[in-house]
Amino acid sequence: MNSKRVVAVRRLKPWHLDRLQERFHVDYFEEPDHDPMAYREALHKAHGLIGGKLQVSPGTLDDAPHLEAVATISVGYDNLPVDEMNRRGIVLTNTPDVLTETTADTGFLLLMATARRLVELTDFVRQGHWTQHVSEAQFGHDVHGKTLGLVGMGRIGQAIARRALGFGMQVRYTHASPKPEFESRWGVERRDCETLLGESDFVCLTVPLTPQTEYLIGADQLRCMKPSSILINIARGRVVDEAALVHALKEGVIAGAGLDVYEREPLPADSPLPRMSNVVALPHVGSATFETRDAMARCAVDNLCQALDGEKPHDLVNAEAWALRQGHGSLAT
Ligand code: DGY
């Protein structure tokens, strides 16, 4: 065991902790809020921090003067102060790739479930309302033959596109840069955001949350969509103006929404969204399968071990901090 110390938070099973404990002194907190003093003390001595749903502010970094690396068990890192970590030379890693297919499954699940009203209709059967042959009141909408507009064409966007093509859909996308290889291989076409919103029967959001994508979809963008269209959000809640979305769903500006992410999570009890019949609402389970969460934790452990051993981690997010640690620049104190 070397003398470095690691604070581990949530999403780590005993076999992941064993791997860390073979190398480092590990303090594990399933829920840091349950013992904030002990958590703070452990962070004060830590060289590494690993976990899911990490809450790290610049103040947290002040409390962790020895911190060298943070390994988030997620692909998204919008909850972490990357600029501040860069300044201090704290390496950040995430877990892309291993969750791509599962998160794409979640997106397609929401698309199918919303189009065919899965939740509403299973409730209809469960509550004993199926007493005669179904009528148009229970009809849904076709998925095959329709147009899917992907906002974001990264790994997850591409995995959803492949599913959609298998279902006989046309696929359009909007992305900061064109993806010519993907276009020629799969026959998908790039559009500007407004055209994409207007052409699509299903709009699926897969962009990371950044200052550029925050509230990308508001009242004006929802008005560009067809009244028969469905919005799917597996990105981050704050990519959508939720009040504008609720209004659009109530007023028939769009037909429905399949949501995995929300402006506030867990969703506040007074949110109208889960009670709306044209909404399928999941509790942010994009990557939440046994297999994928295990793979994500394994990947984060690998990344943290590499970073603390001074090796360039496989899933390095902030090359700037890595360069500082390699002596190319001076660390903030
Ligand atoms: C991620 O990995 O960012 C997903 O949203 C799951 O937390």
Q: Distance (Å, rounded) from C-alpha 202 to C-alpha 205?
A: 10
Which residue among the candidates 88, 284, 293, 298 is catalytic per the annotation?
284
Structure confidence at residue 270 as a pLDDT band (50, 70, 90): very high
pLDDT at 314 exceeding the cut of 80: yes
120 flagged as catalytic: no
pLDDT digits (tens, 9 = 90+) for 202-256: 999 999 999 999 999 999 999 999 999 999 999 999 999 999 999 999 999 999 9
Considering only CA atoms, which residue is closest to atom 7 of ligand 1? 74
Which whole number is the average pLDDT over 67-93? 97
Ligand 1 centroid, distance to 255 Cα (angstroms): 27
Q: In the chain, list all ranges with CATH 3.40.50.720.
A: 5-96+291-325, 100-281
Ligand 1 centroid, distance to 43 Cα (angstroms): 23
What CATH number is given for 5-96+291-325 in this structure? 3.40.50.720
Which residue among the candidates 265, 291, 311, 328 is catalytic per the annotation?
265
Considering only CA atoms, which residue is closest to atom 3 of ligand 1? 76
List, edge to edge, every strand of the sheet that includes 230-233: 189-190, 170-174, 147-151, 202-205, 230-233, 256-259, 279-281
| Domain 100-281 class, CATH top level | alpha beta
Q: Distance (Å, rounded) from C-alpha 65 to C-alpha 83?
A: 16
Considering only CA atoms, which residue is closest to atom 2 of ligand 1? 74
Residues lining ligand 1, judged by CB closer than 6 Å?
A: 74-76, 99, 286-287
Q: What is the pLDDT of residue 2?
A: 77
pLDDT digits (tens, 9 = 90+) for 289-313: 999 999 999 999 999 999 999 999 9
Q: What is the pLDDT of residue 332?
A: 66
The amino acid at 291: E
185 flagged as catalytic: no
Atom of ligand 1 nearest to the CA of 287: 6
Ligand 1 centroid, distance to 222 Cα (angstroms): 25
Ligand 1 centroid, distance to 74 Cα (angstroms): 4
Q: What is the pLDDT of residue 328?
A: 78
| Residue 323 half-sphere exposure toward CB, CA atoms < 13 A | 7
Atom of ligand 1 nearest to the CA of 103: 4
By CB atoms closer than 10 A (0-12, 13-18, 19+), residue 64 is buried
Considering only CA atoms, which residue is closest to atom 4 of ligand 1? 74
Total-model pTM: 0.95
Tell me how many degrees the CA angle 81-271-101 measures, rounded to the nearest 5: 55
> What is residue 205's three-state secondary structure?
strand
236 flagged as catalytic: yes
Which whole number is the average pLDDT over 105-113? 98
Ligand 1 centroid, distance to 227 Cα (angstroms): 30
Residue for token pair 């790739």: 97
Tell me the pLDDT of the chain averaged across its residues. 96
**Token digits of residue 221:** 């963008």
